[in-house]
Amino acid sequence: MKVLITGANGNLATGLIPLLEGRHALRLSDLRPVPPPFHGHAFVRADVRRPEELLRAVEGMDVVVHTPAWHGIHLRERSERDFWEVNVDGTFNVLQAAVAGGAGKVVWISSTSVRTRENIYGLSKVLGEGLCAYHHQRHGLRCLVLRPGNFTPYRSNREYGERLARGGVDRRDVHQAAALAVENETVEYGVFVVLQEMPYTPVDVEAWPADPAAVLERHVPGARRLVERYAISLPERISPPDITPAREALGYRPRYTFLSFLRELADRDTAGDAAVWLDGGQ
């Protein structure tokens, strides 16, 4: 297939490209040229706020993966108009370009923030999902919408682990889901939650508020000592997500959880470099 990836320099695209290259003909698009590892792919400079530039980028493509957006971490530095122009107008422009250019499918990256709608970021994702639904219903455009949790770059492995404890998702699992969505041949329209697969039982969920370390200990022997020794912050409650639709329709199989983080921390602890590892990041 011929696949256009917008926002090719971004956190999602840079991990998705290696999963698709060699299997599909890729065209990359962004405001800035892509780094040397991706120079072998066709590149079209395009600003998602400019419809005419997107039309050039989409022409001849079968699938568009649309990734550019301002995120929650940008709320303090970007205005509401910035969010609207990139997240809402940009999404509309891409969907319109896909219809006009003959691309049969768009994979669009939403967010679990649609559940809160407490700021312009969440609202922009609600509206983006609505635009995808409209273009499917009105124009017959296949739209696969992915709703990942927080997978933005992290400053340290400690932050990464604590994010997983609160229900975040590893970026590598988001890359997997996006690649599966690109290659899916059956779904005409769908919204798929992309999160980790928490192996907690209903008993674990009920017991967590009273003693979370005891719950973790049942899954990872030695977890209590690790949490206490390295002062890992835990949420007050846990709520395992339902990723069944993504599993059944896309074949999504997330690999990374807070428990896998604890197991790596245990290995680091044995090797004697856990504290240094926790302070390191991406």
Report the amino acid identity of residue 34: V
CB distance 194 to 243 below 8 Å: yes
Tell me what the mean pLDDT of segment 137-143 comes to.
98
Q: Using the Cα atoms of residue 256, residue 166, residue 178 and residue 58 in order, give the sign of their dihedral.
A: negative
CATH superfamily of 2-148: NAD(P)-binding Rossmann-like Domain (3.40.50.720)
Phi first, then psi, for residue 66 (nearest 5°) are: -105, 115
Tell me what the mean pLDDT of segment 149-154 comes to.
88
pTM to 2 decimal places = 0.94
The answer on pLDDT for 244 being more than 90 is yes
| pLDDT at residue 152, rounded to an integer | 85
| pLDDT at residue 280, rounded to an integer | 82
CA–CA separation, 7 vs 34, rounded Å?
A: 10
Per residue in 27-49, pLDDT tens? 999 999 999 899 999 999 999 99
CB distance 120 to 152 below 8 Å: no
The answer on pLDDT for 281 being more than 90 is no
The answer on pLDDT for 282 being more than 80 is no
Per residue in 172-186, pLDDT tens? 999 999 999 999 999
Per residue in 93-136, pLDDT tens? 999 999 999 999 999 999 999 887 779 999 999 999 999 999 99
For the chain, what are the domain ranges? Answer: 2-148, 202-239+257-279
Tell me what the mean pLDDT of segment 255-279 comes to.
96
Per residue in 197-236, pLDDT tens? 999 999 999 999 999 999 999 999 999 999 999 999 999 9
